[in-house]
Amino acid sequence: MKLFIDSANVADIKKAYKVGVLSGVTTNPSLVAKEGVKFEDRIEEILKLVPKVESVSAEVTPDAITAEEMIAQAEELIKINNYDKNITIKLPMTLDGLEACRYLADKGIKTNVTLIFTVNQALLAARAGATYVSPFLGRLDDISEDGVQLVVKIAELFRIHNLDAQIIAASVRHPDHVTRVAMAGAHIATVPFSIIEQISKHPLTDQGLEKFAADWKKAVKS
Give pLDDT tens digits for 185-199: 999 999 999 999 999
Question: What secondary structure letter does DSSP report for 31?
Answer: H
Give the pLDDT of residue 99: 98
Average pLDDT over all residues of the chain: 94
At residue 88, the 3 state secondary structure works out as strand
Residue 68, domain CATH: 3.20.20.70
Give the pLDDT of residue 118: 97
Rg of the chain over Cα atoms, rounded to whole angstroms, equals: 19
Give the pLDDT of residue 82: 65
Say how many domains are in the chain. 1
User: How far from 18 is each of 12, 25, 119, CA to CA, in Å?
Assistant: 10, 13, 35
Specify whether the CB–CB gap between 192 and 9 falls below 8 A: no
Q: Amino acid identity of 81?
A: N
Give the pLDDT of residue 85: 76
Range of the domain at 129: 2-221
User: Could you tell me what percent of the chain has a pLDDT over 90?
Assistant: 84
Give the pLDDT of residue 84: 66
Query: Which residues of the chain fall below pLDDT 50?
Result: none
Active site residues: 90
- Give the orientation angle of helix 119-127 with respect to helix 95-106, to 10 degrees: 30
Q: In the chain, at which residue ranges do the beta strands (DSSP E only) sit?
A: 2-6, 22-26, 55-59, 87-92, 111-116, 132-135, 166-169, 188-191
Specify whether the CB–CB gap between 93 and 115 falls below 8 A: yes
Strand 111-116, strand 87-92: pairing: parallel
User: Could you tell me what percent of the chain has a pLDDT over 70?
Assistant: 98
Give pLDDT tens digits for 142-170: 898 999 999 999 999 999 999 999 999 99
